[in-house]
Amino acid sequence: MISKPLALLTAAIAVVGANSMVLAPITGAVSQDIGGDPADIVQAAAAYGVTTAISAIFLAPRADVIGADKALFQSVIVILVSMVASVFAPTLLALTAAQALGGIGAGMAIPAIYALAPQLGPKGEEKRSMGLVLSGWTLALVGGVAGSGFLAEWAGWRSVYAVLAIAIIGVFFAMRRVDLRVDMSRARPTSPLTALGVPGITRGLFAAGAFMLAFYGTYAFIGAHVHDALGMGTDGAGFVTLFYGTGFGLAALIDKYVDRLPQRQAGLLSFTCLTVIYLAFLVFGGSFAALAGLALIWGIVQHLGLNFVVSRLAGLDASQRGAVLGLNSAVTYLAVTGGALAFRPLYEMGGFALCNVLSAICVAAAAIESLTAKRV
């Protein structure tokens, strides 16, 4: 049975993750209300991503000094303020500012959650604890992508942020009742520069970057592929996303078995399987049924890969865990932008298949890194 601290961290990652995803499905409704084209509303999402990356680099290291529990508590307050500001935003500029503030909070929150997960779970089951917390992204994906569109349709886009605000208030009060404190006896000031000096950090971040770039480069164009090549609407893309999210959540059931593998083997297995999956998309992506089925498997393996990447980085230096995981979050959000920018010309030239090829190359490089690493 999942412990109260891990349940709380899972809920926190679900709400923070959903907040990062909900704007994309409701841009049309937002533009109709506050003016501008849907493409203009994307500026607010871009502001969120930029401030998340900056915050993850420069503010996440505070967790190594004040404690990840306190850093998470402070970030929850910042995120709550941003959600309330989003609910009442009268203009695009105000919404962009509110989203930028939310990114600052997320850049602190996500590394803090990742830092707490292996410390608050049972000893010897650190990767399983991380896997349970990562399953919160499934709730974020299903609730954020599917739920926000439905809610915006029936109650307006502002209701989406109102619901998220209520959810983050629940997390806030739960944090007042659940003990998330961890050992701070080795606490010391850290920074991005000190984190970059940790042995193994460069290779770990390379694997994380290649892994996330491969994911976002393919995921970003699934909707376009379903529309352009398969002739289906947004409901078809949502169905594929639902299958992916289901697989991501189901993977938590097998984390305890993968946890028994040496970490290098776990990484090699995950990245190799992902390489095969991206190549399978290349071959079978023209069939909607095959695309949905592969998305389910993709979600399972993506969960295992993310668990490996985060657990590996979290274990490099316990005294600098906040700074190290902050760099990981920065790399992740850079991959979000890089996936859209680098893969778009490929999609325009060769469609979804060419995106799959580059994704396969990225995770194959991560697999080779895991195979050749002296210490993972």
Domains of the chain by start residue, with CATH: 1-189 (1.20.1250.20), 190-376 (1.20.1250.20)
**pTM for the predicted model, two decimal places:** 0.87
Residue 26 CA: distances (Å) to CA of 37, 38, 157, 343, 375: 12, 9, 7, 23, 44
Give the CA dihedral 261, 262, 268, 273, nearest 10 degrees. Answer: 10
Burial 319-331 (b: 16+ CB within 10 A, else e): bbbbbbbbbbbbb
Task: List the pLDDT tens digit at each of the 376 positions of the chain.
Answer: 678 999 999 999 999 999 988 887 788 788 889 987 776 777 788 889 889 999 999 999 988 889 899 999 999 999 999 999 999 999 999 999 999 999 999 999 999 999 999 888 888 788 888 988 998 998 888 777 778 877 888 888 999 999 999 999 999 999 999 988 876 656 677 888 889 999 999 999 999 999 999 998 898 888 889 888 898 876 687 788 889 989 998 998 887 777 777 878 889 999 999 999 999 999 999 999 999 999 999 999 999 999 999 999 998 998 899 999 999 999 998 888 777 778 888 998 999 999 999 999 999 999 999 888 765 5
**What is the structure's pLDDT at 39?**
65
Q: What is the pLDDT of residue 1?
A: 63
CA 10, 16, 21, 22: dihedral to nearest 10 degrees? 110
Residue 159 pLDDT: 94
Tell me the chain's radius of gyration from C-alpha atoms: 20
pLDDT on residue 87: 96
